[in-house]
Amino acid sequence: MLRAGRLIAALVLGMTTLSPSASAAPITADEPYSVAPVWSSCSQFFAGVSPIPTAQCGTVAVPIDYAKPEGAQAQLAVLKVPASGSR
């Protein structure tokens, strides 16, 4: 049983260290693309459903092709729930 555990651990370690990283892709834009959503009520997104009272929703436009940031745009819906506790 100990051998099987060591073999599995070695396989997992090998797969995670040999796999390509997502951050390996070069960034081609001169400046990072950043857009802040405009936050509002979530009623437009949750018709007929009781949403979380403190939730805020919005949309953000992002380029479909980051190599062509002025090209076609996609609208992504985003939702946030502000923290209610204290640190």
Taking the model in full, what pTM does it have? 0.50
Q: What is the pLDDT of residue 75?
A: 92
| Residue 28 vs residue 69, higher pLDDT | 69
- Asked which of 1-15, 26-40, 52-66 is least confident by mean pLDDT, the reply is 1-15
Q: What is the pLDDT of residue 64?
A: 92
Cβ neighbours, 10 Å, residue 86: 4
Using a 10 angstrom Cβ sphere, with 0-12 exposed, 13-18 middle and 19 or more buried, the burial of residue 55 is middle
Closest CA to 56 of 75, 22, 74, 83: 83
One-letter amino acid at 4 equals A
Q: What confidence category does residue 19 fall into, taking pLDDT thresholds of 50, 70 and 90?
A: very low
